[in-house]
Amino acid sequence: MRQIGGKYYSRKGLSIKQKVTIWYACMLVLIVLLLFGFILTISRNLLQRESDSRLEKIVLDFIDDIDFEYNWYELDDDIRFYEDGVIFSLYDEQGRLTAGSVPTNFPADTVLKAYSFQTFSTAGHNWSVYDAALPYGDGKILWIRGILQTETLFSVERTMFLVLLVACPLLIALALLVGYSITRRAFLPIQEIRRTAETIGAGSDLSARISTERTQGEIRQLAETFNEMFERLETSFEHERQFTSDASHELRTPVAVIISQAEYALLPDATAEEQREGLAVILEQAGKMSTLISQLLLLARADNGTQQLSMVSTDLSLLAEEAAEQCRGSALQRQIRLELEIQPDVIVEGDPESLSRVIRNLLENAIQYGRTGGFVKLTLAVREDAAVCSVQDDGIGISAEDLPRIWQRFYRADPSRNPSGSNTGLGLALVKWIVEAHHGPISAESTPGQGSCFTFRLPLHQEAP
């Protein structure tokens, strides 16, 4: 199916509306024809039966006007051989015409059949015949034949046929007209769906929706399904737009710092000490950019499903201890006690590098947002056939309003808590993606001012049987 000038055409070139209308009209005409045929057959049978019984009665009445003696018969004086459209002819047992007449054009070879009806047509005439056989004397038979020319009977049929001939084209025209207008009305919501999809496709208005007020049934369901899809598209576009804008904003800041530091260091009167300081700042900013870029790359790969995780049997206990060791320095700096409660030999199936990143990230956050002089506790244990790892702190905590948003990319609950600007706001988004890619849930509980606890679960490594 393709679309030309707002109409949907099937491959043969007819629009769906036209096709539906033609089908509709054809069906209607077929039904009318069948109905006409049915009525015609019934009426023909009824008329025939009525005409037969009339013919029979007239013939029997005629017989009353004949007086039979032993070996001969006598016709009444006032007998008439034409009665009520019926012509009478009398034959002897040899089939010879003895009285009455036979209409011209009536086939002379019509056999005599006692007490039965015969109906046939000859050149433009229709005949109904009824024969009565009256035995008398010694084996003699008087045949009385009543002949009815049934022009009238067939004229009814002809009239009906003429009516049909005139009515049929009118009916087709009416069916096409009414059918087309009904289909057009029925297809109006579909046109609206198309127009809205076009508007969204052109990117001019992502908030456009199909109105479902006047639609019902399947079309309403279709419109609602499209609206849901448009909703998701809009959200996804919005996320994409936000992500691109955030990413460029995050990259612009270190780039601006690097440029200004380089310009400062290149000033003719810059001392060697100032140049060294400038270079140190440039190095720090470049490092920040490198982290951000690698995080962005990882998220982009995660989004389009190209981020590879090498799933191997991994000792999570070992990874947790190593990660804690790597964070010990920064904990010490912030005078935070690092407590470990790690069950040994907790083996999961996963990507060691990514899992190590998860634990490090949670620990770094707990230390950064922890309380000076407070604690950070890393716990790892097997519970209900799963490895459960949690990182708890007694720091600033997260408000109930912020809690659901911390997993969003670039979301930082309180940017003022990060004066160095070293945080990207991508850490937890990555952590969530990694844990979920390992078929595990992750959650956070927090009370502002009292601390937070991040917990994730991973399925244990199953030994091959």
- Sites of contact with ligand ADP (CB under 6 A): 365-366, 369, 393, 395-398, 406, 411-414, 423-429, 452
C-beta of residue 387 within 8 angstroms of C-beta of residue 462: no
Q: How far is the CB of 426 from ligand ADP (least distance, A)?
A: 6
Q: Which is nearer to ligand ADP, 288 or 438 (CB)?
A: 288
Number of H helices, E strands in the chain: 7, 17
What does 393-436 look like in DSSP terms, one character per residue? E-SS---TTTGGGTTSTT--S-GGG-TT----S-HHHHHHHHHH
Q: CA separation (Å) from 280 to 24, 118, 273, 291, 330? A: 81, 123, 11, 17, 20
Q: How far is the CB of 331 from ligand ADP (least distance, A)?
A: 13
Q: Which is nearer to ligand ADP, 254 or 425 (CB)?
A: 425
Q: Among all residues, whose Cβ is closest to ligand ADP? A: 427
Unique residue bearing structure tokens 């870029």? 293
Q: Which is nearer to ligand ADP, 371 or 461 (CB)?
A: 371
Question: What is the C-alpha separation between 262 and 356, in angstroms, rounded?
Answer: 36
**How big is the CA angle at 463 (ends 457 and 465), to the nearest 5 degrees?**
140
Q: Which is nearer to ligand ADP, 25 or 413 (CB)?
A: 413
SS3 content of the chain, % helix, strand, coil (to 5): 50, 20, 30
Q: How far is the CB of 191 from ligand ADP (least distance, A)?
A: 46
Q: CA separation (Å) from 292 to 14, 123, 326, 426? A: 56, 103, 20, 8
Q: How far is the CB of 421 from ligand ADP (least distance, A)?
A: 10
Q: How far is the CB of 252 from ligand ADP (least distance, A)?
A: 17
What does DSSP assign to residue 392?
A: E
Q: Which is nearer to ligand ADP, 264 or 411 (CB)?
A: 411
Q: Is 8 helix (H, G, I), strand (E, B) or coil?
A: strand
Of 305, 309, 255, the C-alpha closest to 282 is 255
Q: How far is the CB of 414 from ligand ADP (least distance, A)?
A: 5
Q: Which is nearer to ligand ADP, 101 or 450 (CB)?
A: 450
Q: Which is nearer to ligand ADP, 356 or 423 (CB)?
A: 423
Unique residue bearing structure tokens 């920040």? 288
C-beta of residue 376 within 8 angstroms of C-beta of residue 367: yes
Dihedral sign (CA 431, 401, 232, 203): negative
Q: Which is nearer to ligand ADP, 67 or 414 (CB)?
A: 414
252-263 burial, b at 16+ Cβ within 10 Å, e below that, comes to eebeebbeebee
Q: How far is the CB of 232 from ligand ADP (least distance, A)?
A: 24
Q: Residue 106 burial by CB count (10 A; 0-12/13-18/19+): exposed, middle or buried?
A: middle
Q: How far is the CB of 301 from ligand ADP (least distance, A)?
A: 18
Q: How far is the CB of 290 from ligand ADP (least distance, A)?
A: 15
β partners of residue 456: 389, 442
Q: Which is nearer to ligand ADP, 278 or 397 (CB)?
A: 397
